[in-house]
């Protein structure tokens, strides 16, 4: 039987410390005790980590984060990876009210992980992708498709915890780490992928399908076949 608590491990530790402080404050005054109690509840709420049921469909990518699709654009891959060409980028913004545990968007092997120290600009700004503290993960799927997801620290976020290692095989929807407080995750997908979300759409980590990695390629093949038949 799985008795796992629906909270991230860091949250349990921090909430435990706050709870002890709350008990001490309660001995000083009732109001102080209630304040500590509310802080404990607030901490657990922020570090909540509910179970998710990921889609079983092949050749898809799911959202790595709870939040809202901030922007969809075409741009080069992060400089650290030194990859040619352009990619489709989906930027997902997480407010302080969202679940902040991040999940793998695909099933595949972690080929590279880069940590880049930087600034803490507001993550709604485009420059956050280039200047903020971040961690980029480069993954390869079984069919050779590559994707990238980047955890970006924000104005309030000051720590990105990574729970995966290079060479590790991840399952779609598997937990990969957490960014504390408001932050952002960018997903870089190949141009052959069909984007299935829109700007302003709410996403659920591990469950919301953000792209079909083969659909555009199939559609192009079908279009070419029809043209040849005509």
For residue 192, indicate whether it is catalytic: no
DSSP annotation string for 149-170: EEEEE-SS---EEE---TT-EE
Q: Which of 63, 91, 129, 183 is catalytic?
A: 183
Distances (CA, A) of 229 to 1, 3, 215, 218, 226: 58, 59, 21, 17, 5
Helix axis angle for 30-46 and 9-28, nearest 10°, is 170
81: phi then psi, degrees, rounded to nearest 5: -85, -20
Please name the residue that has the structure tokens 């880049």. 116
Q: Which residues are catalytic?
A: 183
């Amino acid at each position: 039987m799985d008795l796992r608590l629906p909270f991230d491990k860091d949250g349990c530790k921090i909430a435990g410390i706050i709870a002890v402080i709350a008990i001490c404050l309660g001995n000083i005054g009732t109001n102080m005790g209630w304040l500590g109690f509310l802080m404990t509840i607030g901490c657990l709420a922020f570090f909540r980590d509910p179970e998710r049921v990921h889609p079983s469909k092949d050749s898809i990518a799911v959202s790595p984060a709870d939040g809202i699709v901030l922007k969809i654009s075409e741009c080069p891959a992060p400089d650290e990876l030194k990859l040619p060409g352009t990619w489709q980028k989906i930027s997902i913004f997480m407010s302080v009210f969202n679940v902040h545990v991040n999940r793998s968007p695909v099933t595949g092997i972690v080929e590279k992980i880069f940590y880049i120290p930087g600034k803490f600009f507001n993550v709604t700004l485009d420059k956050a992708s280039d200047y903020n503290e971040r961690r980029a993960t480069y993954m390869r799927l079984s069919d050779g498709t590559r994707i990238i997801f980047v955890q970006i620290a924000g104005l309030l976020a000051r720590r990105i915890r990574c729970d995966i290692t290079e060479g590790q095989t991840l399952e779609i929807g598997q937990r990969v780490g957490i960014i504390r407080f408001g932050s952002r995750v960018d997903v870089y997908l190949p141009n052959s992928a069909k984007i299935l979300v829109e700007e302003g759409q709410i996403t659920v980590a591990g469950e919301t399908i953000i792209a079909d990695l083969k659909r555009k390629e199939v559609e192009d093949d079908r279009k070419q076949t029809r043209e040849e038949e005509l």
